[in-house]
């Protein structure tokens, strides 16, 4: 049963008071020192610590089967974030589970192409067999069932994944057999991709650690046989017909350095503007509608730079100065930019640039 939005249990997990979540079950194993050590190992991979949050959440799921209150607290502590910030990320992505997941996660694509080929019928049949609905776990703890949006395998529709491994071109009978085998503890080979392990194993892989006991087992998983026929069929047809994609154009090669000064773009001589400026003027003049005119004006080389692109110290980009990342203990409120008074009232300015455009 889900905790009610706004309940202490819900807030404990996410730090948000409007997200339905489930408190930790009594038998949930605690996160070990090993988990914390591995979390720090993940953090060390990134130049900015908070970038490690996504794989850290997978790490938590590899230990506890979902993003538990303890896991949220660990991520927040290690990254210097608030629990609300960790919860906001964990509740945004569907791969982060808010309640304990079964041994296997079975995802049934019910998006357009799979749906018209029987995806919803598969979902309904599995739901009846397991006695659960979307995002619920069978009473024996074997399977969590979910419907999924397009799994990016439409050429194999209808598609079911187990722990994110593909079981292609399913129908009601084959999907029911698959789930029955999983409940018996078997691990049928996926139609392509690595051999099946389990939900916690794949979560460990997603955290950036091998889920296999040794290098030989990991290599065997990568080289697992698969049926790629539907994907290769188009390629084969093109080869039979002698069709080819046009060659990719790379960037123009840099001219050889002759030691002479480089030629620069010169005004065309008619208006005193460069050819690029003249072409942009022509696009603005030819625009039919106000929206087209605004678009052409915005892409004009003389258009003022959009707000927010230049950093206060004059550099370009969107990065945040060290120690000022949102949510860190070093965060300070942004200083208000200086205001200037125009003829029709105050207008905001951004340091190093003229007044922004009025709306
Ligand atoms: S619609 Fe199911 S994989 Fe794309």
* CATH, residue 176: 3.40.30.10
Q: What confidence tens digit (pLDDT) does each residue in 138-191 have?
A: 999 999 999 999 999 999 999 999 999 999 999 999 999 999 999 999 999 999
Residue 156 CA, closest ligand 1 atom number: 3
Q: Please check whether residue 162 is in contact with residue 196, taking contact to mean a CB–CB distance below 8 angstroms.
A: yes
DSSP, collapsed to helix, strand or coil, labels residue 51 as: helix
Judgement on whether residues 83 and 124 belong to the same structural domain of the protein: no
Encoding tokens for residue 355?
Answer: 């007044």
Cβ neighbors of 231 (< 8 A, separation 6 or more) are 155, 156
* 114, part of any domain: yes
d(CA 91, CA 276): 47
Burial (Cβ within 10 Å: 0-12, 13-18, ≥19) of residue 176: middle
Which of 132-141's residues contact partners 24+ apart within 8 Å by CB, and which partners? 135/99, 137/99, 137/100, 137/101, 137/102, 138/102, 138/183, 140/183, 141/102, 141/103
Q: What is the whole-number distance in angstroms between the Cα of residue 168 and the centre of ligand 1? A: 10
* 253, part of any domain: no
CB atoms within 10 A of CB 195: 15
Q: Name residue 168's beta-bridge partners.
A: none
Q: What is the whole-number distance in angstroms between the Cα of residue 171 and the centre of ligand 1? A: 14
Judgement on whether residues 108 and 194 belong to the same structural domain of the protein: yes
Mean pLDDT of the chain: 80
Out of 90, 121, 141, a domain closes at 90
Residue 151 CA, closest ligand 1 atom number: 3
Q: What is the whole-number distance in angstroms between the Cα of residue 188 and the centre of ligand 1? A: 21
* Ligand 1, pocket-test mutation among 107, 151, 168, 169, most atoms within 8 A of CB: 151
CB atoms within 10 A of CB 163: 23
Higher pLDDT, 12 or 143: 143
Judgement on whether residues 186 and 118 belong to the same structural domain of the protein: yes
Is residue 65 scored above 70 in pLDDT? Answer: yes
Q: What is the whole-number distance in angstroms between the Cα of residue 241 and the centre of ligand 1? A: 28
Judgement on whether residues 114 and 154 belong to the same structural domain of the protein: yes
DSSP, collapsed to helix, strand or coil, labels residue 202 as: helix
- Model pTM above 0.75: no
Q: Which of 56-60, 127-131, 167-171, 292-296 has the lowest mean pLDDT?
A: 292-296
d(CA 114, CA 269): 60
Q: What confidence tens digit (pLDDT) does each residue in 91-133 have?
A: 999 999 999 999 999 999 999 999 999 999 999 999 999 999 9
Q: What does the pLDDT read at residue 22?
A: 63
d(CA 284, CA 301): 12
Judgement on whether residues 74 and 108 belong to the same structural domain of the protein: no
Q: What is the whole-number distance in angstroms between the Cα of residue 222 and the centre of ligand 1? A: 24
Q: Which of 18-27, 73-82, 270-279, 294-303 has the lowest mean pLDDT?
A: 18-27
- DSSP letters spanning 63-87: HHSS--HHHHHHHHHHHT--HHHHH
Q: What does the pLDDT read at residue 157?
A: 96
Q: What angle do CA 56, 7, 54 make, to 5 degrees?
A: 10
Q: Where are the alpha helices (DSSP H) in the chain?
A: 8-14, 33-43, 53-64, 69-79, 83-90, 112-116, 119-130, 172-183, 199-206, 215-222, 229-241, 275-286, 290-298
Residue 148 CA, closest ligand 1 atom number: 2
Q: What is the whole-number distance in angstroms between the Cα of residue 109 and the centre of ligand 1? A: 6
Q: What does the pLDDT read at residue 222?
A: 82
Higher pLDDT, 209 or 228: 209
Asked if the peptide bond before residue 10 counts as cis, ω within 30 degrees of 0, the response is no
Is residue 317 scored above 80 in pLDDT? Answer: no
| DSSP class of 52 | G
d(CA 111, CA 309): 38
Residue 158 CA, closest ligand 1 atom number: 2
Site of tokens 């309904």: 124
Q: What confidence tens digit (pLDDT) does each residue in 192-222 have?
A: 989 999 999 999 999 999 999 899 989 888 8
* 260, part of any domain: no
* Ligand 1, pocket-test mutation among 159, 170, 191, 230, most atoms within 8 A of CB: 159
For the ranges 37-51, 303-317, 320-334, 339-353, the one whose mean pLDDT is highest:
37-51
d(CA 182, CA 126): 12
* 46, part of any domain: yes
For the ranges 212-226, 261-275, 281-295, the one whose mean pLDDT is highest:
212-226
Q: What is the whole-number distance in angstroms between the Cα of residue 342 and the centre of ligand 1? A: 55
Q: Please check whether residue 60 is in contact with residue 79, taking contact to mean a CB–CB distance below 8 angstroms.
A: no
Judgement on whether residues 83 and 17 belong to the same structural domain of the protein: yes
What domain count does the chain have? 2
Q: Kindly indicate the confidence band of residue 226, based on its pLDDT and cuts at 50, 70 and 90.
A: confident
Q: Kindly indicate the confidence band of residue 313, based on its pLDDT and cuts at 50, 70 and 90.
A: low
Q: What does the pLDDT read at residue 354?
A: 34
Residue 110 CA, closest ligand 1 atom number: 2
Judgement on whether residues 73 and 112 belong to the same structural domain of the protein: no
Out of 166, 198, 230, a domain closes at 198
Judgement on whether residues 194 and 140 belong to the same structural domain of the protein: yes
d(CA 159, CA 181): 17
What are the distances in angstroms from CA 167 to CA 151, 156, 198, 244?
11, 9, 15, 31
Out of 90, 114, 149, a domain closes at 90
Encoding tokens for residue 183?
Answer: 């409940």
What mean pLDDT comes out for the span 38-55?
A: 97
Judgement on whether residues 38 and 113 belong to the same structural domain of the protein: no
Please provide residue 108's backbone torsions phi and psi, each rounded to the nearest 5 degrees.
-110, 120
Q: Please check whether residue 307 is in contact with residue 300, taking contact to mean a CB–CB distance below 8 angstroms.
A: no
**Which residues does ligand 1 sit against, CB inside 6 Å?**
109, 111-114, 150-151, 153-154, 157, 159
Judgement on whether residues 118 and 166 belong to the same structural domain of the protein: yes
Residue 112 CA, closest ligand 1 atom number: 1
Judgement on whether residues 56 and 128 belong to the same structural domain of the protein: no
Encoding tokens for residue 37?
Answer: 């050590």
d(CA 14, CA 98): 9
- For 58, the domain range is 8-90
Residue 111 CA, closest ligand 1 atom number: 1
**Is the C-alpha dihedral spanning 36, 37, 38, 41 positive or negative?**
positive
């Amino acid at each position: 049963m889900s905790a009610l939005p706004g309940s202490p249990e819900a807030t404990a997990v996410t730090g948000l008071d409007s997200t339905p979540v489930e408190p930790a079950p009594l038998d949930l194993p605690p996160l070990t020192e090993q988990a914390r050590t591995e979390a720090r190992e993940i953090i060390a991979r990134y130049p900015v610590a908070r970038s490690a949050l996504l794989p850290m959440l997978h790490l938590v799921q590899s230990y506890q089967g979902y993003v538990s209150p303890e896991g949220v607290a660990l991520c927040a502590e290690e990254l210097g974030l608030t629990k609300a910030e960790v919860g906001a990320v964990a509740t945004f992505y569907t791969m982060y589970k808010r309640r304990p997941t079964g041994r296997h996660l079975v995802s049934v694509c019910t998006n357009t192409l799979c749906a018209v080929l029987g995806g919803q019928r598969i979902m309904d049949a599995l739901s009846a067999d397991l006695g659960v609905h979307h995002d619920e776990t069978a009473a024996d703890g074997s399977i969590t069932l979910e419907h999924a949006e397009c799994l990016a395998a439409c050429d194999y529709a209808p598609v079911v994944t187990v722990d994110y491994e593909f079981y292609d071109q399913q129908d009601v009978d084959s999907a029911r057999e698959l789930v029955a085998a999983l409940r018996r503890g078997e691990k049928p080979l996926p139609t392509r991709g690595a051999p099946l392990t389990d939900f916690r194993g794949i979560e460990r892989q997603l955290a950036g650690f091998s889920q296999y006991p040794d290098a030989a087992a990991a290599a065997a998983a990568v080289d697992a046989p698969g049926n790629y026929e539907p994907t290769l069929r188009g390629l084969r047809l093109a080869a039979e017909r002698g069709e080819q994609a046009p060659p990719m154009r790379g960037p123009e090669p840099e001219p050889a350095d002759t030691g002479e000064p480089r030629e620069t773009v010169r005004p065309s001589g008619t208006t005193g503007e460069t050819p690029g400026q003249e072409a942009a003027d022509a696009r603005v003049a030819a625009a039919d509608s106000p929206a087209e005119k605004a678009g052409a004006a915005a892409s004009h080389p003389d258009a003022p730079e959009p707000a927010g692109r230049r950093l206060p110290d004059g550099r370009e980009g969107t990065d945040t100065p060290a120690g000022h990342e949102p949510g860190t203990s070093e965060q300070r409120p942004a200083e208000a930019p200086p205001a200037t008074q125009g003829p029709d009232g105050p207008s905001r300015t951004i340091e190093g640039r003229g007044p922004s455009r009025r709306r």
